[in-house]
Amino acid sequence: MAEPTHLLIPFAGRGSPACCAVLPGLRLPKLEALLARLAPAGTDAQDDSTFSPPHERALAAALGLQAADGCIPWAARDARRLGLPGSEADAAWGWIDLCNWQVDVSDVVLGDPAHTQLEADESLALLDAARPLFEEDGIRLHATPEKPGRWLASGDLFRALPSASLDRAIGHSISQWSHITDAGRPLRRLQNEVQMLLYTERVNDQRTAKGLPPINSFWLSGTGAMPAQAQPAGAGPVVVDALRDAALRDDGDAWAAAWHAVDAGPVAELLATCEGGADVALTLCGDLAAQRFSVQQRGFSGWVKRTFSRPRAAPVLEAL
């Protein structure tokens, strides 16, 4: 039997003030028509203190990756997909994202690494400078060709070290999501050493002269080990990331506009596939929960549900 067509939408619900404010007036006709054809097929509800947000847990479950909170091996999966040395074994990996920590008199907030506008040559120069510090702790660094500013790091330190997803930490206090366990203390020391190194780097002098934010630290995420027999990619769901940027900025108008585009695009396509008789699935994710929907009713009972009991999107998204 063929796998169902599965759409996974992160940040479909958002508890931040501006996104909450626009949610009651959000009109998503294609989503509502699709929900009328589907039935709930499972909910993963946690709280907003988990290192792994609902959309990452849902994707891991769909890919058959079982791991503790904060230890879904995304970096190890990336390394194996890229064929990096040692990735075929049960090695532990982590993502190192270069970033700008926004410092004021009372707090330090994690800025989105995607907004640093870091160039590939800048990332490589900083990697070469930082490599000896990481190697002192038995950590090997690798550049990633697809994403300047993200390094892949391998080392046994990452095997059982939970790390907070960027999607949890961006825009929040560093202290809320930093690694404060005994296992994370070597990382804290390493982070301090790298911060001092970055302060002296010519790359940052050049960036400041251009009006760009300095790279003053890094964020570790995606930690864990991937079983040797696991595959780096598979027939997982299609992940729609169009809502992420506006949600993380808490830009309610932009988030609503992005939702309208998703409704008219991927959701409309999934609805058409469903109407054609195919087996489809939809997973909507928010800050607290992931709700999966699948086709469970056909025939007359399904027609009655679609005709007389069309759900509104807003209450479904508010529950996430």
Confidence (pLDDT) at 176: 86
- Residue 97 near residue 162 (C-beta atoms within 8 A): no
Confidence (pLDDT) at 179: 64
Domains, the chain, ranges and CATH? 5-57+237-318 (no CATH), 65-225 (3.30.70)
Confidence (pLDDT) at 302: 53
Closest CA to 199 of 103, 95, 96: 103
Between β-strands 238-239 and 217-225, what pairing exists: parallel, antiparallel or unpaired?
unpaired
Tokens of 237: 């769901």
Confidence (pLDDT) at 257: 98
pLDDT tens across the length of the chain (320 residues):
445 699 999 999 999 999 999 999 999 999 999 999 999 999 999 988 899 999 999 999 999 888 999 999 999 999 999 999 888 888 899 999 999 998 877 789 999 999 999 999 999 999 999 999 999 999 999 999 888 999 999 999 999 899 999 999 999 998 888 866 666 788 888 999 999 999 999 999 999 999 999 999 999 999 999 877 766 555 689 999 999 999 999 999 999 999 999 999 999 999 999 999 999 999 999 999 999 999 976 554 555 455 556 688 999 999 99
Confidence (pLDDT) at 1: 42
For residues 125 and 133, give the distance between their C-alpha atoms in angstroms, rounded to a whole number. Answer: 14
Residue type at 20? Answer: C
In Å, how far from its chain's centre is CA 87? 21
Confidence (pLDDT) at 300: 45
- Residue 221 near residue 95 (C-beta atoms within 8 A): yes
Q: Is 70 left (phi over 0), alpha (psi -120 to 50) or beta?
A: left
- Residue 44 near residue 61 (C-beta atoms within 8 A): yes
For the entire predicted model, the pTM comes to 0.91
- Residue 215 near residue 99 (C-beta atoms within 8 A): yes
Confidence (pLDDT) at 8: 98
Tokens of 218: 């890094």
Closest CA to 95 of 22, 19, 150: 150
